[in-house]
Amino acid sequence: MPRFALKIEYHGGPFAGWQRQADQPSVQAALEAALRRLEPDAPGVAAAGRTDAGVHACGQVAHCDLRRDWAPFRLMEALNHHLRPAPVAVLAAARVEEDFHARFSAIERRYTYRIIARRAPLTQEAGLAWHLRHALDAAAMRSGAVHLLGLHDFTTFRATLCQAKSPVKTLDALEIEEIARPHGQELRLHLRARSFLHNQVRSIAGTLERVGAGAWPPGRVAEALAARDRAACGPVAPPQGLCLTGVGYPDDPFA
């Protein structure tokens, strides 16, 4: 059966996450329903990452096997037609080798966490960022973030129900971008790693917010990491600020 890679964008607000669930809407179920409008016996899809409820994506990657050798552009168009009105879109489709796997072939994942600090509530960006009413010290947050780069035991920043075999991960990049806004402040935390633990990015974002707010000194991030104790973590940031922005492979299937 021909195998296809799909690059997918979605708004996570209406969904209980990526993964198919029996009694709640999921991105996976929406995509599989669209595929079965094209081929009723199409098997399930596999994704590069299982985003949580409320988390968004603009660079999720999944793969599927189909009986028909579709032209990638026509497959993309047909899926987008059947995905309406769900807030899910296929940005690109590509024919790939049979051994390509969206999850296991990936060599990096990239996430961005958005924080908007202003007194006024969010309107146009509601549900797309963590809204704070207090300003943050981006320089202090960068000082705290440095302690998290590299190979570490991230038990402190791992959900208690995380199913990963090991808490040891390598965080390759953690950049904090400050974006000028006419009212308030926007920060974007850009993180890159081969893989992440469950709730790792949101735990890091919530912890660095405490540093930016002045509640924690930057050095306390290192202490929290060394503690290897979930109780030492800052609050877990809400899901709506998080977006899976890209997945890297040895050979980009969409190039």
Long-range Cβ contacts of 14-21 (<8 Å, 24+ apart): 14/86, 14/87, 15/53, 15/54, 16/53, 17/50, 17/51, 17/52, 17/53, 17/55, 18/47, 18/49, 18/50, 18/51, 18/57, 18/60, 19/50, 20/44
Single-letter residue type at 240: Q
**Cα R_g (the chain), whole angstroms:** 19
Q: Please indicate whether residue 137 is annotated as part of the active site.
A: no
Catalytic residue among 23, 52, 153, 252: 52
Helices (H), 6-71: 27-38
Catalytic sites, residue numbers: 52
